[in-house]
């Protein structure tokens, strides 16, 4: 049975609310087991599995946030605005987690609901991941393994908790998932009230990396705009048809390191770019850390979308 726009929006919000009502949000870096939440509106993307992955998908909780790992089946979860509020814009939301886990609450569902509240159809992409140890104990040991500290001006706990992205990961599965999500939105645009000329993508950390990878490498995705949030800052080769970009990072994020390469790449290519470098916020701040200057980035993003006429039918 196909849900109506109104019922689908309400169903997503109810499921989101129930999930967080039943989780005791321990605000520390300890990794706790978590039963897989019900995802009633998650739609299978049909992109296949993960080669040589012995472990099943499992969930855990850290910093009060529900997270998934060992994902072998990609899904897309719509968060649709009330029909009378919908403006036709759409955003694919890609959570982060070093391509080893996904921060589904902080960088997925919360962001999507905030977008839907602004009249934007949002779609959380739960993409396939690279394997991690099967047991939670072994995973916790792997997460807490000794690492060379990244240079930082802050001891922000979220920054210290985030291990660096493993180098040169194969992102072919993740790109395929992003392309399948984009295609599904195109195919169901009328049902979901989406203007196909105003589909963008926003991602966080590794999700920002996937957003950038999709922009630079996909032959099928024609994104109207992108929003890499605390992603890599190195130089890139910008395609001539690259979309406008809104980028955010904090100076105390280990991925910053004083680099402005990706911003300069967009600028030199003559493509609109807006960049917010915040004094503090660390890494993984999602919708915002209280008492950090990065806390207002989402308001700036919505304003940017509005000024660039992505929130109005053309």
The per-residue pLDDT for 152 is: 37
pLDDT tens sequence across 264-291? 999 999 999 999 999 999 999 999 888 8
The pLDDT score that the predictor gives to residue 147 is 61
At residue 129, φ and ψ (nearest 5 deg) are: -125, 165
* pTM reported for the whole predicted model: 0.86
Residue 314, pLDDT score: 67
Q: Domain locations in the chain? A: 5-307
Q: What is the pLDDT of residue 21?
A: 35
> So what's the pLDDT on residue 281?
94
pLDDT in tens, 157-182: 333 343 444 457 899 999 999 999 99
| Contact partners, residue 157, CB within 8 Å, separation at least 6 | 29, 63, 282
CB 286 within 8 A of CB 204: yes
Asked if 210 and 171 touch (Cβ cutoff 8 Å), the reply is: yes
pLDDT at 162: 39
Mean pLDDT in the chain?
A: 87
Half-sphere exposure of 241 (CA within 13 A, CB side): 9
Distance CA 224, CA 227 (A): 11
pLDDT at residue 290 in the model = 84
Q: What is the pLDDT of residue 160?
A: 38
Distance, in Å, from the CA atom of 171 to the CA atom of 296, rounded to the nearest integer, reads 31
Around Cβ 186, how many Cβ atoms within 10 Å? 15
CA–CA separation, 131 and 151 (whole Å)? 28
Give the chain's residues under pLDDT 70.
Answer: 1-28, 147-167, 314
Specify the CATH architecture of the domain 5-307.
3-Layer(aba) Sandwich (3.40)
């Amino acid at each position: 049975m196909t849900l109506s726009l109104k019922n689908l929006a309400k169903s997503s919000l109810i499921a989101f609310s129930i999930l967080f009502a039943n989780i005791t949000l321990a605000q520390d870096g300890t990794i706790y087991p978590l039963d897989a939440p019900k995802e009633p509106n998650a739609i299978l993307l049909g992109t296949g599995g993960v080669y040589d992955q012995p472990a099943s998908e499992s969930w855990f909780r850290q910093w009060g946030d529900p997270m998934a790992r060992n994902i072998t089946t990609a899904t897309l979860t719509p968060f649709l605005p009330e029909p009378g509020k919908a403006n036709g814009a759409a955003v694919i939301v890609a959570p982060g987690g070093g391509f080893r886990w996904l921060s589904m609450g902080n960088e997925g569902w919360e962001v999507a609901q905030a977008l839907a509240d602004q009249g934007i159809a949002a779609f959380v992409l739960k993409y396939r991941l690279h394997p991690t140890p099967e047991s939670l104990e072994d995973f916790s040991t792997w997460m807490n393994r000794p690492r060379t500290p990244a240079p930082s001006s802050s001891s922000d706990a979220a920054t210290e908790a985030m291990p660096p992205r493993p180098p040169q990961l194969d992102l072919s599965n993740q790109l395929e998932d992003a392309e399948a999500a984009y295609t599904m939105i195109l195919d169901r645009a009328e049902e979901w009230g989406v203007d196909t000329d105003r589909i963008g993508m926003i991602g966080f950390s590794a999700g920002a990396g996937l957003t950038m990878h999709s922009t630079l490498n996909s032959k099928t995705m024609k994104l109207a705009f992108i929003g890499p949030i605390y992603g890599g800052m190195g130089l890139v080769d910008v395609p001539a048809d690259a979309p406008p970009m809104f980028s955010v990072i904090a100076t105390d994020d280990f991925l910053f390191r004083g680099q402005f390469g990706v911003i300069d790449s967009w600028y030199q290519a003559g493509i609109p770019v807006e960049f917010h470098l915040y004094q503090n916020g660390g890494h993984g701040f999602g919708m915002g850390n209280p008492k950090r200057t990065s806390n207002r980035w989402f308001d700036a993003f919505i304003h940017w979308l509005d000024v660039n006429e992505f929130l109005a039918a053309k």
